[in-house]
Structure 1
Amino acid sequence: MDFQPTQDQRDLRAGVRDLLAGRYGREALRAAADGGACVDRALWRELGEAGFFALRLPEEQGGVGLGMPEAVLVFEEAGRALLPGPLVATHLAAGSVPGAAQGTAVVTAFDLEGPWVTHLGESDAVLGAAAVPAGEAVRPADPLTPLSRVRARDPASAGASEAADAYRDEGALLTAALQLGSALRTLELAVGHAREREQFGQPIGAFQAVKHLCAQMLVRAEVARTALYAAAVTGDPGEVAGAKLLADEAAVRGARDCLQVHGGMGFTWEADVHLHLKRAWVRAEQWRTAARAEEALAAELLGAGLPEAGVE
């Protein structure tokens, strides 16, 4: 079987990359990180018009009618651009929350452990909730992911957690795609810097330690990519859990290694590396944490009736 993306899928990915490059390049990213609004409403509507949120919605309901394999390609590009906002929740809400499919509504979800919600103050709705609950803003790890602590679960938000649970696998898979895009981008940043930065009269990429860091970043990203694409095709819960685990590792460790390649300048606010690392930390806690993913994998393996150790 040929698991390479089709020409239509490659064109779709290229189109989204071009859209984001033109509308959310580095200047827009830095402006948002330095204090601008995290969710660009105009860009959100453009994404809706391009079919980003309605990608998997049936055509008879006004959607594009594609599937999860296409969705992960699109979300991979959003992760590469470090596009902020509750992209996954809004995508999942298409067809059930008015305006979500068109990008005229921003929808968040209870996708974190405990009473935490991202982008609550910027959202028009919460997935599964009758109204947006009250919340208290707290200082986030990622400057582009506002975080709120919901004070009380009132009747309006009683079904929000249940709705998030119903979408857990899909949300985890799309979040893994965002993580993969970020991992691939930090790989590009590390390799680019290793080629340009010189020490002792030669590019630092010529040194074995730097080569190993970049090679390890590439291996982790490609392994995660393979797992992600396979899970997008099969939809198997165990494969989804594995893809999320691998993508989280590729994003977090890739950002750390990228920072290491950059050296002292990698720790500065002006470098983009810390934004990828902080976002990777947040995403690793969304939809399916490492602990939950490991539990799902363990249940899958135990349910498969694996042979005892030492038994062929």
Structure 2
Amino acid sequence: MHFQPTDDQRVLRAAVRGLLQRRFGREVLRAAVDRPGALDRGLWRELGESGFFALRLPEADGGAGLGLPEAVLLFEEAGRALLPGPLVATHLAAGEVPGAASGRTVVTAVYGGLVEWLGEADVIRGDATGAAPLASVDPLTPLHRVARAAGPPDPVAVLLTAAEQLGGAARTCELAVRHARTREQFGQPIGAFQAVKHLCAESLVRVETARAAVYAAAVTADPLDIAAARLLADEAAVRCARDCLQVHGGMGFTWEAEVHLYLKRAWVRTQRMGSSAESEEKLAGELLSGVS
């Protein structure tokens, strides 16, 4: 990936988007919200069969032999679709935990003192002793809190979470623009009003800034680049979802629209790898390293 995805990467992204549209469209999303805590094992296996989890494994081990840039594109699409489940943990366990690559085994992990989908997981990576249920604002992400947080998160896990946040930010930006074009007040689309225009334009700037940072970090795999990508993607996901709610007005807060689900997912994802303070400290340290 040299600043723009290659043709092969675009085909990969389109294939994943098509799969998720077929298997996790709006009606399936609604059904999943109505049964919180239940993971669709059939969909999980289908993801495994499509190569979602084994993407970065060598071809000799049954994988696709691809790299972080391609994984980022997949997780961006997962975030766009609000796909539930411990996707990052299972992807990172491929090749290490039997059945993870094929989707037959659901793997979760302790990140930042939290465990997602503990009740549905076949394998838990990290110490989840004494895990206590935690009320989750996101109905599609059941949470448990553990007494002792794990060590520093895997940078790849941080980057893939940032990619999910990027996908959610991009989708809420699209939803805001679509609503602004079709919703009319005083005889014209609300997108004609300056305040709404500004909300949409600012959302687009956040998305594209976060996308540049996430894609660059996927190429370099540098911890500092990943820290910057995480901060920008978290900000984009939360603020784009909030601005999308503003564009939708009161309807955005209702179950009729899925906008609020993106905001709730964004809030939860900001806590997956613990506080953002660690990423901020990394960047601050680098900026101050040359200052006497």
Which category describes the TM-score, using the shorter chain as reference length?
A: over 0.9
**Counterpart of 1:270?**
256
Tell me the CA shift for residue 38 of structure 1: 4.1
Q: 1:144 aligns with which of 140, 143, 149?
A: 140
Tell me the CA shift for residue 58 of structure 1: 1.3
Secondary structure (helix, strand or coil) at the match of 1:84 reads coil
Q: Scaled by the length of structure 2, what TM-score is found?
A: 0.95
1:27-46 correspondence to structure 2 within 5 Å: 27-46=27-46
Confirm or deny: 8 A CA contact 2:169 2:237 kept in the other structure.
Answer: yes
Tell me the CA shift for residue 2 of structure 1: 4.2
Secondary structure (helix, strand or coil) at the match of 1:103 reads coil
User: How many residues were matched structurally?
Assistant: 292
1:48-127 correspondence to structure 2 within 5 Å: 48-112=48-112, 114=113, 116-127=114-125
Secondary structure (helix, strand or coil) at the match of 1:78 reads helix
Confirm or deny: 8 A CA contact 2:110 2:126 kept in the other structure.
Answer: no
Q: Determine whether 1:161 maps to 2:150.
A: yes
Tell me the CA shift for residue 288 of structure 1: 5.1
Secondary structure (helix, strand or coil) at the match of 1:193 reads helix
Confirm or deny: 8 A CA contact 1:190 1:261 kept in the other structure.
Answer: yes
**Counterpart of 1:216?**
202
Secondary structure (helix, strand or coil) at the match of 2:133 reads strand
Tell me the CA shift for residue 16 of structure 1: 0.1
Tell me the CA shift for residue 141 of structure 1: 1.1
**Cα distance in 2, alignment partners of residues 41 and 133 from structure 1:** 25
Which amino acid is 1:143 matched to? P
**Counterpart of 1:157?**
none
Which amino acid is 1:119 matched to? W
**Cα distance in 1, alignment partners of residues 274 and 185 from structure 2:** 42
Q: Which runs of 4 or more aligned residues in structure 1 lie more than 4 Å from their structure 2 counterparts after TM superposition?
A: none
Tell me the CA shift for residue 290 of structure 1: 1.8
Secondary structure (helix, strand or coil) at the match of 1:5 reads coil
Secondary structure (helix, strand or coil) at the match of 2:150 reads helix
290-299 or 9-18, which deviates more: 290-299
**Counterpart of 1:156?**
none
Confirm or deny: 8 A CA contact 2:89 2:109 kept in the other structure.
Answer: yes
**Cα distance in 2, alignment partners of residues 9 and 188 from structure 1:** 22
Fraction of identical pairs, as percent: 68
Distance change >3 Å, CA 28–CA 36, structure 1 → 2: farther
Tell me the CA shift for residue 37 of structure 1: 4.7
Which amino acid is 2:122 matched to? D
RMSD: 1.7
Q: Scaled by the length of structure 1, what TM-score is found?
A: 0.89
Tell me the CA shift for residue 63 of structure 1: 1.2
Tell me the CA shift for residue 291 of structure 1: 1.0
**Cα distance in 1, alignment partners of residues 217 and 234 from structure 2:** 15
Q: 1:259 aligns with which of 223, 236, 245?
A: 245
**Counterpart of 2:47?**
47
Tell me the CA shift for residue 70 of structure 1: 0.4
**Counterpart of 1:227?**
213
Q: Determine whether 1:9 maps to 2:9.
A: yes
Confirm or deny: 8 A CA contact 1:168 1:288 kept in the other structure.
Answer: no
1:182-221 correspondence to structure 2 within 5 Å: 182-221=168-207
Gaps of 5+ in 2: none
Tell me the CA shift for residue 98 of structure 1: 1.1
Q: Determine whether 1:296 maps to 2:285.
A: no
User: Per-residue displacement from partner, 1:133-176 (whole Å, max 9, x unpaired)?
Assistant: 453323211111001134x67xxxxxx924xx3x5210110000
**Cα distance in 1, alignment partners of residues 270 and 36 from structure 2:** 24
Secondary structure (helix, strand or coil) at the match of 1:13 reads helix
User: Per-residue displacement from partner, 1:256-293 (whole Å, max 9, x unpaired)?
Assistant: 00000000111112210110001000101112532111
**Cα distance in 2, alignment partners of residues 277 and 244 from structure 1:** 16
53-62 or 201-210, which deviates more: 53-62
286-295 or 138-147, which deviates more: 286-295
Secondary structure (helix, strand or coil) at the match of 1:109 reads strand
